[in-house]
Homo-oligomer: A and B are copies of this chain.
């Protein structure tokens, strides 16, 4: 009798966005809306793809329509034109990568699950909570021990390592989802030092790097000396270029990264050539346009719109005297619920009194309770309205 992977039975049902939808539905069925319901919950983008990407996608579709330019199987690790474009993007920030250290994926979420295949299942995974729930769930599925580590207001939601930690895989997400906090260069240096000392491997989730505006904050773990022997970086165009529904990410695995004489770059080549046939040529062509001068200019305009949304929300919280972090170098704002409310209670309060939907911090780990996440990816006009309502409600609440 075939036995299932029984680790699935250890997963808690993930009700976060389901519960949000249910509560919203119930509210709408029982109430007549006096004003528009504004969603600032799910971190999905709202602006269309920029025109450089759109042109490249159309052109790639045309390539596929003609026998002479038609493209069959792509390199499983990624098309050279895109790997080169990404290596050049890193080079601008002073990070030298060779083309074969860059792997193209269908997105960071896909890769964060897939990459675990090259690690032993007896290894442990450290997750700094509050965190993107898939870090924990993907490791539960693999039967790994989870080491819970906590960020909080005191450490600015970006803690240092400490010598008591025993963990093989270390997740670091900076700028952070959900807190919007960033790890300084000095903090990342400590983590790299820790990982090299202990033989751990850092999985650095850089999905929000394009939102960093503070010059001193690293965009890549490979800006840190020593990272090439202890880190893998996973990135995505989802938030950088609005690819949430278009799907493309990339992963950097340095050639030097080895444990037990096994080379992780070579292992990943073998994984990709065995388990995939690469990412769609059309989408890779669209992605390459992001890294052109025109593409970079256009995506920065879009990011500026989201940053202006964040600013509007931050101003409202400032005016209401509410503690928050994020927003400046990240598309998320992480606020402390007023009057020590729990995060689901604040969800109800905000829905009932301001007709705004956000994400309760408890959905990102136990110690996220008491906090609340807003996204800056919404419609600008809606975000302005929401900010006014939030300010009014929370000032009144004091």
**How close is A115's CB to chain B, nearest CB, in angstroms?**
10
- Structural contact, B275 and A134, CB atoms closer than 8 A: yes
**How close is A113's CB to chain B, nearest CB, in angstroms?**
3
- Structural contact, A276 and B107, CB atoms closer than 8 A: yes
Q: Which residues of B contact A4 (CB under 8 A)?
A: 118-120, 259-260, 262, 264, 267
- Structural contact, A270 and B8, CB atoms closer than 8 A: yes
Closest to A1 in B: B199
**How close is A263's CB to chain B, nearest CB, in angstroms?**
9
Mark interface residues in A64-84 (1 if CB within 8 Å of B CB, else 0).
Answer: 111100111110000000000
Q: Is A301 an interface residue (CB 8 A)?
A: no
Query: Which residues between 118 and 140 of chain A lie within 8 Å of chain B, taking CB atoms?
Result: 118-123, 134, 137-138
How far is A107 from B279 in the complex, measured between Cα atoms in Å? Answer: 10
Size of A's binding interface in residues, CB under 8 A: 80
- Structural contact, A2 and B46, CB atoms closer than 8 A: no
**How close is A364's CB to chain B, nearest CB, in angstroms?**
15
Q: Which residues of B contact A66 (CB under 8 A)?
A: 48
- Structural contact, A5 and B117, CB atoms closer than 8 A: yes
* Interface segment, one of A54-62, A219-227, A318-326, A353-361: A54-62
How far is A71 from B138 in the complex, measured between Cα atoms in Å? Answer: 26
**How close is A20's CB to chain B, nearest CB, in angstroms?**
14
Q: Which residues of B contact A67 (CB under 8 A)?
A: 46-48
- Structural contact, A51 and B65, CB atoms closer than 8 A: yes
Q: Which residues of B contact A246 (CB under 8 A)?
A: 64, 280-282
Q: Which residues of B contact A168 (CB under 8 A)?
A: 1-3
Given the known interface contacts A4-B118, A8-B267, A119-B2, the answer about A74 and B245 at a Cβ–Cβ threshold of 8 Å is yes
Q: Is A180 an interface residue (CB 8 A)?
A: no
How far is A37 from B231 in the complex, measured between Cα atoms in Å? Answer: 45
**How close is A200's CB to chain B, nearest CB, in angstroms?**
6
How far is A240 from B270 in the complex, measured between Cα atoms in Å? Answer: 27
Closest to A230 in B: B2
Q: Which residues of B contact A275 (CB under 8 A)?
A: 109-110, 112-114, 134, 138, 141
Q: Is A44 an interface residue (CB 8 A)?
A: yes
How far is A286 from B74 in the complex, measured between Cα atoms in Å? Answer: 18
Closest to A263 in B: B4
Q: Which residues of B contact A70 (CB under 8 A)?
A: 46-49, 242, 245
Q: Is A19 an interface residue (CB 8 A)?
A: no
**How close is A229's CB to chain B, nearest CB, in angstroms?**
12
Pick from B64, B120, B137, B200: contact of A245, CB below 8 A: B64
Given the known interface contacts A64-B48, A264-B4, the answer about A282 and B283 at a Cβ–Cβ threshold of 8 Å is yes
**How close is A56's CB to chain B, nearest CB, in angstroms?**
9
How far is A329 from B261 in the complex, measured between Cα atoms in Å? Answer: 46
Q: Is A228 an interface residue (CB 8 A)?
A: no
How far is A114 from B42 in the complex, measured between Cα atoms in Å? Answer: 26
Mark interface residues in A250-283 (1 if CB within 8 Å of B CB, else 0).
Answer: 0000000001101010010011011111111111
- Centre residue among A70, A74, A259 by max chain B CB count within 10 A: A70
Query: Which residues between 1 and 27 of chain A lie within 8 Å of chain B, taking CB atoms?
Result: 1-6, 8-9, 11, 14
How far is A10 from B198 in the complex, measured between Cα atoms in Å? Answer: 26
Pick from B3, B51, B242, B274: contact of A120, CB below 8 A: B3
**How close is A194's CB to chain B, nearest CB, in angstroms?**
13
Complex A-B, nearest 9 residue pairs according to Cβ-Cβ distance, in ascending order: A113-B275, A1-B199, A2-B168, A3-B120, A44-B72, A4-B262, A71-B245, A245-B281, A247-B280
**Known contacts A2-B201, A246-B281, then 16 further A-B pairs from the complex at CB < 8 Å, ordered by chain A residue:** A1-B199, A1-B200, A3-B168, A4-B267, A8-B262, A8-B270, A48-B67, A48-B70, A49-B70, A54-B61, A58-B58, A70-B245, A73-B245, A245-B278, A246-B282, A247-B277
